[in-house]
Amino acid sequence: MATGWLSLLKHVPWSEVINSAPQLADSARKLWGAVDKRPIQDEHADVGTYSSASPQETMAVLEARVVALDESVAQLHTQMRASSELIKALADQNAQLIQRIETNRVRLIWLSAATAVFGLTSVIALVLALTRSA
């Protein structure tokens, strides 16, 4: 059984897998770095300032928060695009591996059928040879 897996793994395009692995790892590292470096914001930090501030101060604080939220949304959008590109690259690589596995599966079926035919032919030839010599 182990030899079947070894022969299957021999037909995997490892050069393509190895060549694309650093790019995928770098993309994943950059994406994780971008997500990991973002500070966690306390959503309830400014709740008390709205009631004691004047309307102009409240508007200024709210406008600043809207700008900060817009920047946050833009960063999230950039990270989403990077994630999508990484997922697409991984999916393409996965599709190539699946295609190779399917090709090897079909080859294995043909090889098994040919081996069965050869074995059956050998048994018939052996039986005929033994019956002729007796």
**What mean pLDDT is predicted for residues 97-121?**
92
pLDDT digits (tens, 9 = 90+) for 56-76: 888 999 999 999 999 999 999
**Most confident residue range from 18-27, 47-56, 75-84:** 75-84
Q: Kindly give, in sequence order, each residue whose CB lies less than 8 Å from that of residue 5, ignoring residues fewer than 6 positions away.
A: none
Domain ranges of the chain: 22-34+49-133
Residue 44 confidence class, pLDDT cut points 50, 70, 90:
very low
What per-residue confidence (pLDDT) applies to 38?
62
pLDDT digits (tens, 9 = 90+) for 75-102: 999 988 888 888 888 888 888 888 888 8
- Cα 7 to Cα 1, 15, 79, 97, 122: the distances in Å are 10, 16, 40, 14, 26
Residue scoring higher pLDDT (70 or 13):
70
What per-residue confidence (pLDDT) applies to 14?
65
What per-residue confidence (pLDDT) applies to 93?
84
**What mean pLDDT is predicted for residues 104-126?**
95
Residue 120 confidence class, pLDDT cut points 50, 70, 90:
very high
- Counting residues of the chain whose pLDDT is more than 70, the rounded percentage is 69
What value does the mean pLDDT of the chain take?
80
